[in-house]
Amino acid sequence: MAATAPAAATAADCPLCDGDGGALVWRGPKLRVVRAQEPGFPAFYRVVWNAHAAEFTDLDAGDRQHCMDAVAAVETALRAHVQPDKINLAALGNMVPHLHWHVIARFAWDSHFSGAVWAAPQRDRAPEREADVAARLAAAEAAMAGRLSQLA
C-alpha cells in the first residue's frame, strides 16, 4: 500500500496541479513530460506525476516502476539525440512538493558544469552551443513521445 501524502501541500496551492510545469512534450494518464524553460539549459526536462503526490513512496510499486520507466525513456532519447557529456537526474521537490523528476542533459561547456544547474555559474554561457542542442530537441522529443506512448 502507498504511503499517505502529507497534508501540507494540497492541490489547491500546487503549481504543478495548476499547470503543465513547462512546454508539454507528452501526456499520458498517469504522468507527463515537459521541457523546462531554464535559460542556459535547453535540454532540461521534467517527468511530472499527474496526480498530486509529494514523495516517490506515495506511489504504489507499479506506479513507481512506470514513473522510472518514463524517466529512463527521456534519458535514453536525450543521450541518443543530443549526446550530452552527462545526464543529471533529480527529484528534490523542496520548492514544489509535487512529485516530479528532473532529467537534464549536461555538457562540459555549459555555464554550470560540473556543478548543479542550481549552483553558481562557473563560466559564461555558450549561446551558439545552446542553439545547436535546441535544434536537436524535436528529434529527441519525438523519440520520447514514441517510447512513452508504448509504456502508457
What's the pLDDT at 8?
39
**Which of 152, 46, 44 is closest to 99 using CA atoms?**
46
E strand or H helix that includes residue 12: none
Asked whether residue 3 is assigned to any structural domain, the reply reads no
Asked whether residue 5 is assigned to any structural domain, the reply reads no
Helices first, then strands: H and E counts in the chain: 4, 5
Asked whether residue 132 is assigned to any structural domain, the reply reads yes
Each of the 152 residues of the chain gets a pLDDT tens digit; together they read: 344 433 334 477 899 998 899 999 999 999 999 999 999 999 999 999 999 999 999 999 999 999 999 999 999 999 999 999 999 999 998 888 899 999 999 999 999 999 999 999 999 999 999 999 999 999 999 999 999 999 98
What's the pLDDT at 150?
96
Number of domains present in the structure of the chain: 1
CB contact at 8 A, 149 and 52: no
Asked whether residue 45 is assigned to any structural domain, the reply reads yes
Q: DSSP assignment, residue 92?
A: -
What's the pLDDT at 43?
98
What's the pLDDT at 2?
41
Strands, E assignment, the chain? 23-27, 31-35, 44-49, 86-90, 100-106
Which three cell numbers mark 90?
A: 533529480
Identify the bridge partners of residue 27 per DSSP, sorted by sequence position. 32
Residue numbers of the domain that contains 59: 11-151
Long-range contact set of residues 55-59: C-beta below 8 Å, sequence gap at least 24 = 55/3, 55/5, 55/93, 55/99, 56/91, 56/99, 57/2, 57/3, 58/2, 58/3, 58/4, 58/5, 58/99, 59/2, 59/99
Asked whether residue 41 is assigned to any structural domain, the reply reads yes
What's the pLDDT at 13?
85
Asked whether residue 1 is assigned to any structural domain, the reply reads no
CATH number of the domain within which 55 lies:
3.30.428.10
E strand or H helix that includes residue 77: helix 61-82
Asked whether residue 101 is assigned to any structural domain, the reply reads yes
What's the pLDDT at 105?
98
What's the pLDDT at 3?
41
Q: DSSP assignment, residue 106?
A: E
Asked whether residue 2 is assigned to any structural domain, the reply reads no
CB contact at 8 A, 131 and 118: no
